[in-house]
Amino acid sequence: GDSVTQMEGPVTLSEEAFLTINCTYTATGYPSLFWYVQYPGEGLQLLLKATKADDKGSNKGFEATYRKETTSFHLEKGSVQVSDSAVYFCALIFIYNQGGKLIFGQGTELSVKP
């Protein structure tokens, strides 16, 4: 079945370090891809999205490129801040065929130390 796999956490970085969180997917069709972020005590928030191959989503210094050939959507940020500490979820969705339900990875916890 369709699924999303993320690198295991927690990931601990020092402030201003480079971040990569790996995400790969298995899908029978051509999904849209998302990164959601969950701060402590809050609901999931959309961070960025990409709807077709080679699209790059970006927001708040985070970027991810939809790579169809490697079925990947890795999240990157050049310089993390303490405020980026949160749990990050990669997700896919089939808008046209499957009603729009999101399929999530297991989440990767990021902790940024000053």
Site string for another protein, 43-62 (x = CB under 8 A): xxxx--x-x-----------
When asked if residue 81 is in the footprint of another protein (CB under 8 A), the reply is no
What's the one-letter identity of residue 86? A
Stretch that binds another protein, among 11-19, 56-64, 69-77, 104-112 (CB under 8 A): 104-112
DSSP states of 72-112 as a string? B--EEESS--GGG-EEEEEEEE-TTTSTT-EEE---EEEEE
Rounded to a whole number of angstroms, the minimum distance from the CB of residue 61 to another protein is 20
| CA separation, residue 58 to residues 8, 37, 64, 65, 88 (Å) | 22, 13, 7, 9, 14
Site string for another protein, 19-38 (x = CB under 8 A): -------------x---x--
Query: Which stretches of the chain bind another protein, using CB under 8 A?
Result: 4, 32, 36, 41-46, 49, 51, 89, 91, 93, 95-96, 99-107
